[in-house]
Structure 1
Amino acid sequence: MPHNHNYNPKLKPFARSLRQESTKTEVRLWCEVLSKGRTGYTFLRQRPVGNYIADFLCKELKLIIEVDGYSHNFKTEEDLKRDKEIADLGFTTLRFNDEEVMKDLSNVERVIVGWIESSQT
């Protein structure tokens, strides 16, 4: 089996626990926007990328969608480092916070669909 350099097996149990503890926000985004190829693409939940766990990952689009908690109103240095490392692997990260997903899901969906459409041109 070929070695996947984007995968860290040590993160597997952690990924599993994150999947089980998914926030209501992630569940809502998943159910109403990202599941079952609603966007035309397959998104996977809580997948390891590099040394991180992505909330949602579309390998085909090389797109990661992150949902940040209510307290996460600004990008921390850690987020910037993470986004850069993930970008170096060829991925784009779109970030939303809990409030946007819970109160303005249609706009979140519009941003995601807009990104997908613009990436296809």
Structure 2
Amino acid sequence: MRGPDRKATSRARQLRSHQTDAETKLWHRLRNRQIAGCKFVRQEPVGLYVYDFICRERKLVIEVDGGQHAEAKADIVRGDTLTRDGYCVLRFWNNEVLGNIDGVLQTIESKLLDQEPLTPTLSP
């Protein structure tokens, strides 16, 4: 086994300490299993990329982007890579998060509740 990718881990740590205002606002509402009881992590390296927020148990990725990402081909490639690996990607603009956090959270919760958990649940 190869072990952790130190370069990706270092980049993820750097991104965590330099979050945008929109990422910070959303993180405060996602952390500690506040949405549908699901655990999210932030600035998580997966493969070649670092993603803003990931719920591993539901394979949901949330990306918060500024205007520089409009029609970016690199984002399309990243999204395709995740889709092939079974992830669902929700993408929000910074101004959506900052101006309509409740609507963003409702969209995320709806997506989480629509998906089946990846871990088996024990029934009584």
The superposition leaves residues 29-87 of structure 1 with CA deviations (integer Å, 9 ceiling, x where unpaired) of: 0112x111001110001001111001001110011100001443x33211111100111
Within 5 Å, give how 1:1-121 maps onto structure 2: 8-32=5-29, 34-39=30-35, 40-72=37-69, 74-120=70-116
Per the TM alignment, residue 8 of structure 1 is displaced from its structure 2 partner at its CA by 3.9
CA RMSD of aligned residues (A): 1.8
Contact 1:67 1:97 in 2 (8 A): yes
Q: Which structure has the bigger radius of gyration?
A: 2
Distance 2:115 2:21 in 1: 29
Q: TM-score, normalised by structure 1?
A: 0.87
TM-score (norm 2): 0.85
> In the alignment, which residue of structure 1 is the partner of 2:121?
none
Distance 1:75 1:114 in 2: 25
Runs of 4+ in 1 over 4 A off after TM superposition: none
Unpaired runs of at least 5, structure 1 = none
Tell me the matched-pair count. Answer: 116
Query: How far, CA to CA, are the matches of 2:87 and 2:93 in structure 1?
Result: 19
Q: Secondary structure at the match of 2:103?
A: helix
